[in-house]
Structure 1
Amino acid sequence: MIKRELYMKRIRPFIGSDLVKVMTGIRRCGKSVMLELIKDELKASGVDSSQFISINFEDMRYTYLQTAQALHDEITKLASSIDGKVYLFFDEIQEVTDWEKCINSLRITLDCDVYITGSNAKLLSGELATYLGGRYVEFIIYPFSFAEFLELYHLTAPDESISSCFQKYLVSGGMPYLSNLRYAEEPSIQYLTDLFNSVQLKDIVKRNKVRDVDLLERITAYIMSNIGTPFSASSLVKFLKNEKRSVSADTILNYLKYCCDAYLFYQVKRQDLQGKQLLSSNEKYYIADHGIREAVFGGNMRDINLILENIIYMELLRRGYTVTVGKEGNKEVDFVCDKRGERLYIQVTYLLASPETIQREFGVYDNIRDNFPKYVVSLDEFDMSRNGIKHRNIRDFLLEDSWA
């Protein structure tokens, strides 16, 4: 179990506070491990494990607790026998009906410290805003970064170079459980395929009462094949019409939202860098874990330019950036990244293999006159920085502590 310090340093200041700590993210991305890491921190600070109450609501043994009243009664009973503060850990809390009411009541009636996880972005919408408004902090947990993958993969293959480890990362992705399979190809593909099916069934179809599963499957396949490629709902309507499926743009947008709510895909809007406004059409979508794409759709090495973009985009989210696609005249910057007044521009390509490619990738910055850092990242081994624009090898870039 690796320490995932990127997340722990954000969570640590809130440990012991009366705010509810909420960890969300795609199924199996490591949220349960985060709960264990928090328990380790508490025990190291002198808290006795007898003060912990932990429930994973995907465990059939706790099915009888999947209503707010039943859970409230059980926790109140268990807490009555604990001296001092009670530490509550609830995994996949969305399985509990009206869980918000239960958590709010426990927070009021008990001396407790609450940690919950869930696999849906809508966990923190609707009634929760009423019951816990201003009394929670959210942390989105993502699959392993390349640095985290490297740490675990080296336990399996200690003599592998960083370059060959990155080759493995390109096809395996960062879902934590793969380390238990020692990253063996066939078991990894089977696991990731089953994970994708579970997300699709439990977090998209079941939660949103999707009736047309065939349509959903066609849409997810289209998105995976076009990762990082701008498109509109109307273009997808035309594509599906060619496949003899008649569907409205509104239905497509709803299905895409369901996928994003389940943290399977992330939508990236386009921004006009001159007008400083968000554009309403032709968004891009990236997948939470590119290993899932390889297992379900295939072709990561064939589409390596798209996969490199996906990897950089997810790393930006891990590091807390808000990301848009930048439009400057007829040119586009892959990523415009903002974090508390700090801005970066990043252009991603496979290789700077010709003068035309070099001009295209560096030339997107010609009319951007501000002094924020501008990067071109690729798999090239030689530094081709020029005109104040920094060039980085993508492996080195992902392993750097800071890009400012």
Structure 2
Amino acid sequence: MKQVLQEIILDFQELQLETGTPRRLKLTTLPGKASVCIGVRRCGKSTYLFQIMEQLKRDGVQAENILYLNFFDDRLHALQHMGLEVILEAYFGLYPEKKNSRTVYCFFDEVQALPGWEPFVDRLMRTEKCQVYLTGSSARMLSKEIATQMRGRAISWELFPFSFREFLDAKGIKSSGPHSAKKRLTIRKAFEDYWETGGFPEVTGLEKYLRLKIHQEYFQAVLFRDVVERHNISHPRAVTDLAHRLMDNIASLHTVNRLTGYLKSLGHKSPKAAVSDYLEWFEDAFFFFSVRIFDPSLSRSKTNPRKIYCIDHSLVTSVASGILINSGHLLENMIFTALRRLTSDIWYYKTAKGLEVDFIIHLQDRSRRLIQVCETLSHKDTRTRELRALDQAMEELGLDSGTLVTRDHDEDMELNGRRIEIISAWRFLLSLPDE
């Protein structure tokens, strides 16, 4: 195994890395802490590591000082049955002069695939002169494993598929600065491409049939590798049927009881506890996200129906079985993922009169923001309903402004002394800060 590891290490050091589009995630390293990058499968985590490596090289770090392993590599399967210390033995067998004398930059990709990685990395941080970077596709790396095993020796960052601004970067379109008429038309055209393509880097620029095929492969890979295999589920068909049900009803309210009843109608014998686990594991894999109602009572917040969103709006169109997908729900899903890049403190709000506002978010400065999403306001009744919901929510929450995101309409207005910004989706996405 030692020789195999040394071959993998040397082969990688000789590679010309494909670094792709620079990501706007600013990962900051701290002394004595591993930097952990987590996100859904195929969102670009490995490429992001390559970008960090290339920057290190530009800063004068030698390639020999970089140790990279991807634990999805079949050649590393045997590591599951032997001590991980062989990794260090292999590296320092190649470069004995570097031990405790030069900083070694260790990059471990999809580390959650390797049982026992936590104490190994913890020991590595304590005993070797190194800077450690980890990636994983499990949200538990943010909490349970790191909190209990790493003992404060890690700081975590989330990476998502391309934001709209990163999508523009990939197309070579500058999004900053004032927008001339020509630039505005170019960005609006790119937004239509983003609407069709979504944010997964691999499908950017591909024809539709290839995008559909790749998206469907992502769907299967996440379900079976990140949910079924990871949690040893004995009835994978129930998980697949549940995932399809959620895709077909994206941005809609759901309860565990109703989802359990649906699976029962298909002949599955999945109890409520199992369905709750499936939903938690979907979120753990950064695939589906659930949003609770905003309520001062934690018990009411937990018992009310939740709204479900997918990691990528275009993935929904590639997988959902409905011929006519609700485009308003897709727009809402797109706005959710943009907000989720900024914060996990996202709820939906229901006024005292039963009107719903899609999102209320808490930002880092502890401010609140109300955001409603409506594809079009061309119908008078729709416009009245959406504005009334925002107005009531602002009054109840003591806020003096709110935002209504549409597909392509911009307007500033006042209602009962409160400001409402009606903004087209592409402008809204570009108004948000980077991750």
Residues in 1 aligned to 2:324 and 2:55: alpha-carbon distance in whole angstroms? 40
The amino acid of 1:80's aligned partner reads: P
Contact conserved, 1:337 with 1:343, CA < 8 A, in 2? yes
Instruction: Please state if 1:103 is matched with 2:134.
Output: no
Aligned-CA RMSD value: 2.6
- The number of equivalent residue pairs is 394
Can you list the C-alpha shifts for 1:205-234, whole angstroms capped at 9, x where unaligned?
100011111111110011111111111011
Partner in structure 1 of residue 110 of structure 2: 92
Instruction: Please state if 1:282 is matched with 2:305.
Output: yes
The offset of 1:296, in angstroms, is 1.6
Select 2:390's aligned residue among 350, 365, 384: 365
Instruction: Please state if 1:141 is matched with 2:164.
Output: no
Cα 1:307/1:84, change in 2 over 3 Å = same
Residues in 2 aligned to 1:301 and 1:70: alpha-carbon distance in whole angstroms? 54
Cα 1:121/1:221, change in 2 over 3 Å = same
Greater mean alpha carbon deviation, residues 239-248 or residues 328-337: 239-248
Partner in structure 1 of residue 428 of structure 2: 397
Partner in structure 2 of residue 239 of structure 1: 262
Instruction: Please state if 1:116 is matched with 2:140.
Output: no
Residues in 2 aligned to 1:89 and 1:25: alpha-carbon distance in whole angstroms? 16
Cα 1:69/1:153, change in 2 over 3 Å = same
Can you list the C-alpha shifts for 1:152-204, whole angstroms capped at 9, x where unaligned?
2458xx9983333323322321111113xx32111111111112111111111
Cα 1:60/1:242, change in 2 over 3 Å = closer
The amino acid of 1:36's aligned partner reads: F
Residues in 1 aligned to 2:426 and 2:335: alpha-carbon distance in whole angstroms? 10
Instruction: Please state if 1:349 is matched with 2:374.
Output: yes
The offset of 1:256, in angstroms, is 1.1
Select 1:195's aligned residue among 218, 224, 234: 218
Residues in 2 aligned to 1:372 and 1:43: alpha-carbon distance in whole angstroms? 50
Contact conserved, 2:310 with 2:333, CA < 8 A, in 1? yes
Contact conserved, 2:413 with 2:421, CA < 8 A, in 1? yes
Can you list the C-alpha shifts for 1:65-121, whole angstroms capped at 9, x where unaligned?
345343354345456343511100000101212001110111111110000001111
Partner in structure 2 of residue 59 of structure 1: 73
Find the residue that maps to 1:325 and give its secondary structure.
strand
Find the residue that maps to 1:333 and give its secondary structure.
strand
Query: For structure 1, which runs of at least 5 residues remain unmatched after alignment?
Result: none
Identity of aligned residues (%): 28
Contact conserved, 1:26 with 1:262, CA < 8 A, in 2? yes
The amino acid of 2:203's aligned partner reads: L
Greater mean alpha carbon deviation, residues 52-61 or residues 146-155: 146-155
Give the TM-score of the pair, scaled to structure 1. Answer: 0.90
Instruction: Please state if 1:220 is matched with 2:243.
Output: yes
Residues in 2 aligned to 1:129 and 1:57: alpha-carbon distance in whole angstroms? 22
Find the residue that maps to 1:84 and give its secondary structure.
coil
Find the residue that maps to 2:273 and give its secondary structure.
helix
Partner in structure 2 of residue 334 of structure 1: 358
Instruction: Please state if 1:178 is matched with 2:209.
Output: no
Contact conserved, 1:64 with 1:70, CA < 8 A, in 2? no
Contact conserved, 1:172 with 1:294, CA < 8 A, in 2? no
Greater mean alpha carbon deviation, residues 351-360 or residues 381-390: 381-390
Query: For structure 2, which runs of at least 5 residues remain unmatched after alignment?
Result: 1-19, 174-181
Residues in 2 aligned to 1:275 and 1:25: alpha-carbon distance in whole angstroms? 28
The offset of 1:56, in angstroms, is 1.0
Residues in 2 aligned to 1:343 and 1:40: alpha-carbon distance in whole angstroms? 39
Contact conserved, 1:345 with 1:372, CA < 8 A, in 2? no
